[in-house]
Amino acid sequence: MNWADATSACASLASGSAGLSDGSVAGQWRLPSKEELEGIGTDPPATWESGSPSVPWTTPGAPFTAVQSWDYWSSTEYADSPDFAWNVDMSIGGVYINYKSYSSYCVWPVRSGN
């Protein structure tokens, strides 16, 4: 989906929707920042390797499985133009800027811990 739809979809997530049963309410979920998305689920942040199928997200013991090898939107807008936002390519770890209105990427909602 485009960036505006991705932002809206995250904000509307709540327990009882999208398979959630965590007690969350609308407004608690959001798109991760560029920095959060670069290192999501890893400490220190993941190191990607180019080529297929070498993707840390799918290796045994990785914190997440079945992650799409596509680009994911971040909430971080590009400082030089409000028409762009940052995205992270989960297949190689590349970080890019793209048009918010007509680029279509995956969404990885996050929320702050309790």
**Residue 34: how many CB atoms within 10 A of its CB?**
19
Domain ranges in the chain are 3-99
For residue 13 the two structure tokens come to: 């997530």
**φ and ψ at residue 26, rounded to 5 degrees:** -55, 135
The model's pTM: 0.79
Specify whether the CB–CB gap between 110 and 7 falls below 8 A: no
Strand-pairing partners, residue 72, are 88, 106
User: How confident is the model over 3-49, as pLDDT tens digits?
Assistant: 999 999 999 998 888 888 888 889 899 999 998 888 775 544 455 44
